[in-house]
Amino acid sequence: MKCLIIAAGQGSRLRSLAEAKPLMPLKNIPLIDRVIDSAVKAGVDDFYVVVGYNGANVRAHLEEVSRSKNIPITIIENDEWQRANGISVLKAQPYLNEPFLLLMADHIFDSEIASQLIHRSSENKGIILAVDENLQNTLVDMKDVTRVLVEENQIKKIGKGLESYNCFDTGIFLCDPVLFTAIETSSKNQQDDSLSGGVRILAKQGKAGAMPINGSFWCDIDDPDNFKQADIYLSSLKEKCA
C-alpha cells in the first residue's frame, strides 16, 4: 500500500517549539517519524511526502529515515505551500494512480486506524475518512478541528465551521485517485483549494465514506497545548506498559 503524507505547512503556532513542525520531537521521536512508523505497522511499504516550508531540512531528515528504516520515500516539492492543503495533495497526482493512504505529518495515531482503512480498499470508490465520534474527546481543539456530518456511513458535510455535526475529521484517509479530480473541480468551480473542498465534491457524488475509529487514539499536534496533551497521553501509555 502506498501512502501520501502532507508535510508542507508552516506550523506557525508551534514555532516556539520547532522551526520545522514535522521534525518536532515528541518523546524524542519526530512527529513525521511517528506517522511513518504507524503507517508501516499498518501495512504501508511505499511513501510519498510533500514538503514545502523549510523543505530542505525536512527532505534531509526523510532521506536519512529512508536509509535507516530501509523504506522507499519519494519527496515531492510544493512551492505553493502557502495555499490550502489540497494543493499539496495535487502535487502528488503524477505519482499515485492506485489506492493510497493520505496522512498529515502532524497527526499522530494508533496504527490500527490505518490498518482498518487498508482492509476496506476493495469497497472504496472515492475516499473513506476515519472519523472520531467522541465529541467529548479532550485531545480535540474545538477552535480548529474539522467537523463532519455523517449519515449511514456517508459524509454529508465537512468543514471547520459546521454547526451541525456528529464527528471529527482525524486527517486519516483511504483514497482513490478520483480525489485529485475532485480537488481540481473544487478549486475551479468553488475557488476552494482545500482537501475538504475535494471531499465535499465527492460527498455530493456519494463517494465519501466514513469509518468510525471507536475510541482509538489520534491527535492533531497543532499548538503547544495539543503537544502537551499528547506528551501526557503517551507518558500514561508508557506507565501502563511498565
Query: What is the CATH classification number for the domain harbouring 168?
Result: 3.90.550.10
DSSP code, position 220: E
Q: Look up the pTM and report it.
A: 0.94
pLDDT of residue 14: 56
Q: Which domain holds residue 105?
A: 2-241
Per the structure, the count of domains in the chain is: 1
Q: What is the pLDDT of residues 90-119, one digit of tens each?
A: 999 999 999 999 999 999 999 999 999 999
Contact predicate 33/106, CB 8 Å: no
Label residue 225 by pLDDT band (50, 70, 90). Answer: confident
DSSP code, position 38: H
C-alpha cell at 95: 505519482
Task: Assign 3-state DSSP to the chain and report helix, strand, coil percentages, each to 5.
Answer: 40, 25, 35
Chain centre to alpha carbon of residue 68: 23
